[in-house]
Structure 1
Amino acid sequence: MKPRFSFGKIFLLGFGFFGVSVIWSVYNAYVPIFLHNRFHIPPGIIGFFMTLDNLTALFIQPPVGAWSDRLRTPIGRRLPFILAGAPISALAFGLIPLQTFLPFFMACTITLILSMAFWRTPVVALMPDITPSRYRSQANGIINFMGGVGAIIAFLIGATLYEMNPNYPFWLGSALVILATLMVFAFIREPQEYEVTDQTQPSLWHGLRQVIAAEEKSALRILLAIFFWFVAYNAIEAFFTLYAVNHLGISEADGARLLGQLSLLFVLFALPAGFLGSRLGRRNTIISGIILLTSVMLVLFFTPVAVLNTSLFRLPVVGNVPVAGLSLMVAGIAWALININSLPMVVDMTDDLHIGTYTGLYYLFSTLAAIVGPNLNGWIIQLSGENYALIMIVAPIFMMMALLMMLGVRRGEAKAHRPQPVPAD
């Protein structure tokens, strides 16, 4: 039986993305601060430390995606991974801020990294499992909306909690991950029938070889584009709170609030970005986002600090919005246009049997980027005498490389809807 599109079901699935987003938003905002202030780690090493999660995930997430394609259990092929990994993630995450001895700190972060890698790809692959092809951009918009809500909570509410006690944002994240897991388990039912096109079991590396060897290069081009734009985005994200403190001259909590302002506009545009991808084409929507995000990065680099810190207005919950905050809000819109439509393009380049495998390829390239980006920026910052402004000039180079790749993509739009025959009475 083919899956039917249900807004309610996708919103419920979004709780899984909500949990993932809360964890990584708090982690990326405050772990670099701990490393710098508590353990006195230099920027080059911080960059490497912030890629340990991606380095580990590189070897775990793609094979787990292919494994989940093959798995058959009474509760489905994705849920067992979520139920096993999420509680361990919540426990390890809650212990991170309590550690004052670096080896114990690393033990908690590595446990978090391993457990998160175990359930990340299966929860992502659930979306195309339960969503027909023509609705996947809209569905990806919904679940990224939920992920964005998680980021807003992590950055805005988490910033206030951090000012009260640095432990509190982590404990909030742990509680929300447990809640999100329970919601997914209680309300999501996986399909029990899967399309089988041949007798060959899905394999990530076999799929990668096919992508590279294919005469038509759209799949390879979009995977390379994903690599380039994630190099740019992750390079900035890993150092943003340190950029805020050392370049903008504001507090760690206010730096997190700026990220919250980006996340707010990402959330507001998550659903429109999916509908724009459906109406205007995913490729065209992504290209528009790349151009817009590149422009914002260049504005942040060339605008004087005094201007970036100039207050423009205040919003409830969000607080003061300076020029830098408004720029990041535009960046949130641009990132929604890119991010919402990229995974649907990848999974619509294959059949239903290999959705987990292609989801794994998506994470293979995005994870490689998340390893390269922070390491590259970490050493650039360190070798430049800790000039954190440079992160905003390196990233546009990679965004332009992503644009060149996207210009050659010819497939990945929503597949034509084939009405199912009505059974005779």
Structure 2
Amino acid sequence: MKQQRPFSYQKVFVIGSGFLALSLAWAFYNAYMPLILGDFIDSRAIRGAIMGLDNLLAVLLIPVIGAWSDKIDTRIGNRLPFIVIGMPLAAFSFILLPFASVSTFWILIFVDIIFLLAMTIYRAPVIALMPDHTPPEKRSTANGIINLMGGIGAIIALFGLSTLYGINRTYPFIVAGLLLLITFILLFFTVDRKPPYAEKAKDELGEALASNSFLALFRLLKMKEFRGHLFVLVAIFLYFIGFTGVESQFTVYAVEHLNMKESTAGFTLGFFSLSFVLFAVPAGILGSKWGKAPSMLVGLIVQPIIFISIPLIPLLGSIVPDINQVLLLQVMLFLGGIAWAFINVQAYPLVADLGGKSKIGFFTGLYYLFSMASAIVAPGILGLLMDLFTHSALFYGSAVTFVAAYYFLRKGHHLIK
């Protein structure tokens, strides 16, 4: 009789705490770093380009580090060496960011790059801990727990840490950095050095063959019969430009255009994340009934309508002086989070289905490539529109990307059917 390998939901929750801390740090960084950069740089395009640096590092380094952590074998296992280096370094550099911001621009950039590199070093290994400790039949449930904790981390960042930011700019960075350190300690003393479900990496020849097959499959997207698949990926690239641009530039819009307090701006953005977490499961259930692409198309119709409406709120305020503009903006963002749930919850399963069982890994790689590549250029593109036109161009430009994504997704889905 085959011996049952150990499994513990407690370890899944500890691993999820690592994802919670990671999501918390990223959500707060994306919301407030553009405002800190604003102390040195007026151009929203340049600020956006700097904000895209983390995504560039992710595209270049995360696959390499992830593969490296599959292969190495040390006394503390294969994932922990990266976590031991990355998490404490990320924690200390994150704590230093607000102090660097009152120094010189180049000291701020130096600390920022250290933080981004540190986060990149441990991101893939900490996420890979889940399948290392979880049997295949329980991974969907475990992944749901981890993603839920990631959503909670974003909510804590935008609601809780934003409140601290209003008291003192350094407090939320210190709290988030300490949380990263505590999470690191939990992970270090909880995860297995030799996880029960970790598999040996392929040998060098196998990796080379996989690389060649990946390039060959990528060329398939140029072929006529795979045009629908390409259109779906283009749609994902486009709407992620709109989403990431708003995520990274919203606080700039709220502070510079609406004269909102910095802490209130981050708190207001939290309503988008809150509704996404609340409606992710219902959106998934409806997607199962309606179909993945039809559900995404609904979201791609509603999202641009919401974004186009947001710049009209100040105009409405001038007509109806007694209206609470901040509350109305929070309501609109809450509705936007629901629309985003309809889009984003279905996206990866749709792409994973494109290749059938034999090409799931390939299309998973393409999904992250197209979505993360858009995040490199999005903050700069939307920031440039804000520079050239007005702050409101953030939402109008984002709306255009969702409309274009609707076109490509509908056309691609029609070609695949």
* Map 1:186-335 → 2, pairs under 5 A: 186-187=189-190, 190=195, 191-193=197-199, 200-201=206-207, 207=214, 209-213=216-220, 215-216=225-226, 220-278=230-288, 280-307=290-317, 322-335=327-340
Query: Is residue 61 from structure 1 mapped to residue 68 from structure 2 by the alignment?
Result: no
Please give the alpha-carbon distance, in whole angstroms, between the structure 2 residues aligned to 1:272 and 1:247.
Answer: 35
**Which whole-Å CA distance do the structure 2 matches of 1:157 and 1:12 have between them?**
21
Q: Answer yes or no: is the 8 Å Cα contact 2:131–2:198 preserved in 1.
A: no
Partners of 1:217 and 1:10 lie apart in 2 by 39
User: Displacement of 1:230 after TM fit?
Assistant: 1.4
Counterpart of 1:167 in structure 2 is 170
Q: Does structure 2 conserve the Cα–Cα contact (< 8 Å) formed by 1:63 and 1:360? A: no
Q: Which amino acid aligns with 2:168?
A: N
| Equivalent position of 1:50 in the other structure | 51
For 2:173 and 2:358, the matched residues in 1 are separated by: 37
Distance in 2 of aligned mates of 1:134 and 1:285: 26
Stretch of structure 1 that moved more, 339-348 or 164-173: 339-348
Aligned to 2:405: 402
Deviation of 1:262 after TM superposition, in Å, equals: 1.5
Q: Which residue of 2 aligns with 1:418?
A: none
Residues 18-33 of structure 1: matches in 2 within 5 Å?
Answer: 18-33=20-35
Q: Which residue of 1 aligns with 2:16?
A: 14
For structure 1, list consecutive stretches of 5 or more residues without a partner in the other structure: 314-319, 413-425
Residues 148, 267 of structure 1: 8 Å contact kept: yes
TM-superposed CA distance for 1:102, in Å, is 0.9
For the residues of structure 1 that align with 2:122 and 2:298, how far apart are their CA atoms?
Answer: 32
What CA deviation, in whole Å up to 9, does each residue of 1:360-388 have, x standing for no partner? 5443322221121111112111122xx11
1:40–1:247: structure 2 CA closer, same or farther, 3 Å change rule?
same
C-alpha separation between the residues in 2 aligned to 1:219 and 1:69? Answer: 30
Alignment correspondent of 2:385:
380
What is the TM-score with the length of structure 2 in the denominator? 0.81
* 182-191 or 393-402, larger mean C-alpha shift: 182-191
- Percent identity over the alignment? 36
Is 1:180 aligned to residue 178 of structure 2? no
Q: CA deviation at 1:11?
A: 4.2
Measured after TM superposition, the shift of residue 78 of structure 1 is: 4.4
Judging changes above 3 Å, is the alpha-carbon distance between structure 1 residues 336 and 47 closer, same or farther for their aligned structure 2 residues? Answer: same
Structure 1 residues 45-66: Cα deviation after superposition (integer angstroms, max 9, x where no partner) = 2122211222222311233334
Shift in CA distance, 298/219, structure 1 to aligned 2, threshold 3 Å: same
Q: Deviations over 1:191-222 (max 9, x none)?
A: 13369799621766852551342554565444
Which structure has greater helix proportion? 2
* Residue among 115, 119, 133 paired with 2:118: 115
Q: Is the 8 A contact 1:160 1:253 kept in 2?
A: yes
Deviates more, 1:292-301 or 1:253-262: 292-301
Q: How far apart in 2 are the matches of 1:181 and 1:351?
A: 36
The alignment partner of 1:248 has SS state of coil
**For residues 348 and 81 of structure 2, what CA distance do their matches in structure 1 show?**
22
Counterpart Cα distance in 2 of 1:181 and 1:358: 32
Q: Which residue of 2 aligns with 1:155?
A: 158
Whole-angstrom CA distance in 1 between matches of 2:122 and 2:148:
20
Matched-pair contact (CA < 8 Å) for 1:156–1:257: yes
Do the aligned partners of 1:151 and 1:263 also contact (CA within 8 Å) in 2?
A: yes
Is contact 1:16-1:180 (8 Å) kept?
A: yes
Give the deviation of 1:184 after TM superposition.
4.3
In structure 2, the CA distance between the partners of 1:206 and 1:173, relative to structure 1 (3 Å rule), is farther
Distance 1:48 1:278, change over 3 A: same
- Asked if the contact 1:70/1:201 (under 8 Å) is kept, the reply is no
SS at match of 1:249: coil
Name which of 366, 389, 393 aligns with 2:392.
Answer: 389
Does the Cα contact within 8 Å between 2:298 and 2:342 map onto a contact in 1?
yes
Q: What does the per-residue CA deviation read over 1:93-152, in whole Å, with 9 as the maximum and x for residues that have no partner? A: 11110012111100110011112122223444555664748974x655433321221112
Q: Which residue pairs with 1:339 in the alignment?
A: 344
Rate the CA distance shift 1:284–1:183 in 2: closer, same or farther, 3 A: farther
- Cα distance in 2, alignment partners of residues 195 and 27 from structure 1: 34
**Maintained 8 Å contact 2:313/2:328:** no
Q: Mark the CA change 1:226 to 1:292 in structure 2 (over 3 Å): closer, same or farther.
A: same
Change in Cα spacing, 1:340 to 1:330, as seen in structure 2 (3 Å) is same
Determine the structure 2 residue equivalent to 1:421. none
Larger Rg: 2
